[in-house]
Amino acid sequence: MGLLIVGSIGLDDIETPFDKVQNALGGSTTYISLAASYFTGPIEIVGIVGDDFPKEHMKMLEDHNVDLEGLEIVEGAKTFRYGCKYHYDLNVRDSLYTHLNVFEKFNPQLPDKSKKSSYIILGNIAPKLQLSVLDQLQNPKFVVCDTMNFWINGAMEDLLKVLKRVNVLIINDSEARLLSNEPNLIKAAHKISKMGPEYLIIKKGEHGALLFGAETVFSAPAYPMENIFDPTGAGDAFAGGFTGYLHKNRDFSFDNLKRAVVYGSIMASFCVEKFSTKGLENLSPLEIRNRFIEFRELSSFS
Residue 82 interacts with ligand AMP (CB under 6 A)? yes
Contacts 24+ apart (CB under 8 A), 158-161: 158/126, 158/127, 158/128, 158/130, 158/131, 159/127, 160/195, 160/196, 161/127, 161/131
For ligand AMP, the closer of residues 10 and 108 by Cβ is 10
How far apart are alpha carbons 135 and 191 in whole angstroms? 26
CB of 201: closest distance to ligand AMP in angstroms?
Answer: 13
Tell which residue, 49, 267, 284, has the closest CA to residue 170. 267
For ligand AMP, the binding residues in 130-159 under the rule CB under 6 A are 148, 150
Residue 16 interacts with ligand AMP (CB under 6 A)? no
CB of 44: closest distance to ligand AMP in angstroms?
Answer: 19
Region of 298 (left: φ > 0; alpha: ψ -120 to 50; beta: rest) is: alpha
Question: Is the separation of the CB atoms in 123 and 6 below 8 Å?
Answer: yes
How far apart are alpha carbons 145 and 207 in whole angstroms? 21
CB of 9: closest distance to ligand AMP in angstroms?
Answer: 8
Tell which residue, 117, 107, 222, has the closest CA to residue 173. 222
For ligand AMP, the closer of residues 8 and 40 by Cβ is 8
Of 233, 240, 244, 279, the one binding ligand AMP (CB under 6 A) is 233
Chain residue whose CB lies nearest ligand AMP: 26
For ligand AMP, the closer of residues 72 and 116 by Cβ is 72
For ligand AMP, the closer of residues 44 and 236 by Cβ is 236
Region of 18 (left: φ > 0; alpha: ψ -120 to 50; beta: rest) is: alpha
CB of 65: closest distance to ligand AMP in angstroms?
Answer: 21
CB of 45: closest distance to ligand AMP in angstroms?
Answer: 14
Half-sphere exposure of 67 (CA within 13 A, CB side): 16
Strands 20-26 and 10-15: antiparallel
Of 101, 114, 232, 265, the one binding ligand AMP (CB under 6 A) is 232
Residue 193 interacts with ligand AMP (CB under 6 A)? no
Of 33, 124, 193, 243, the one binding ligand AMP (CB under 6 A) is 124
CB of 238: closest distance to ligand AMP in angstroms?
Answer: 8
For ligand AMP, the closer of residues 150 and 252 by Cβ is 150
For ligand AMP, the binding residues in 17-56 under the rule CB under 6 A are 26-28
CB of 8: closest distance to ligand AMP in angstroms?
Answer: 3
Q: Using CB under 6 A, which of the segments 5-13, 65-73, 189-197, 247-255 binds ligand AMP?
A: 5-13
CB of 148: closest distance to ligand AMP in angstroms?
Answer: 6
Residue 10 interacts with ligand AMP (CB under 6 A)? yes
Which residues of the chain form contacts with ligand AMP (CB under 6 A)? 8, 10, 12, 26-28, 82, 98, 124-125, 148, 150, 232-236
